[in-house]
Structure 1
Amino acid sequence: MSLNLIKLCVGAESIEDLETWIAFRLGEMRRAGEPAEQFHTTRMVPKRAEALLDGGSLYWVIKGNVQCRQRLVDIRPFTDADGIGRCHLVLDPRVVPTDWQPRRAFQGWRYLEPKDAPRDLGEGRAGWTALPTELRRELADLGLI
């Protein structure tokens, strides 16, 4: 059975901002001759990696709301130059918009059961992503989306 992670997307103002950052980093890697793959570095290694890699995603909290997800491709523990254990969460670079779900700030990442995860925006509701970010945020604050 699959399992997900949820994490704050620190520094991103919107889904579009996250997508721009991903494209920039992948371009830098290509120019440097490195394999172009997107990953997020974290300190802790998930103990439930097998369930996460069975179709799980990393759900991003942007400005107080879960707004999107990226499929988890791999989990790679490593030790950095200072001897500190870390982990690369390797992600599919495609960002999938989801229903907005309010979340309070927290540190690190948390497990997210599939039953508690917001739905992907479907064909009939994809128009929400066409709205300006500020309008979406205001509607979410009012509890309308």
Structure 2
Amino acid sequence: MLAHASHSVSRPSGPLGARADRSSRRWTASLLLLSVPFALSLVGCGHPTQRALQGRWLGDSVENFDDEVSAAAMGWAKGTSFEFAGSTLTVAIPAEEPRTGTYRVEALEERTVRLAVLDPAGETSELVLLLDDEASLRWVLGGGRSIVMRRQ
């Protein structure tokens, strides 16, 4: 069996020792105060694609819809909007209540972004976007169809 020695650590005594101890505590406190905002800024940054999506996007036009439904699709698209705020997405489409959920970037391949959107009921759906530039994106609906959206 090993014997354990009891060691006590004493603080430096005298004016120089007390000053060194206070200086060390101030240095530690300063370091902590400086590191907290930096850490918070890293947490708030999110995925670079998430930052690029931030803001409100309005439906502008449609692509690859049949002629007989093109006018109706265009009207529907013009009433559609996305609003990205942090990790929250609100989708508004005509004749329905806006839907809000949290999203995360699932995949990014060149300009194609796949988002996983979690609704309040716990259901996850996929949203595919094609980023054209800072002011334009396409909501890929499938079958070669898409809605062109412009940043407001």
Query: Which structure: greater helix fraction?
Result: 2
Point out the structure with max Rg over C-alpha.
Answer: 2
Asked if these proteins are the same fold (TM beyond 0.5), I'd say no
The normalised TM-score by structure 1 is 0.24
Query: Which structure: greater strand fraction?
Result: 2
The normalised TM-score by structure 2 is 0.23
Using CA pairs under 8 Å that are at least 6 residues apart, name the structure with larger relative contact order, 1 or 2: 1
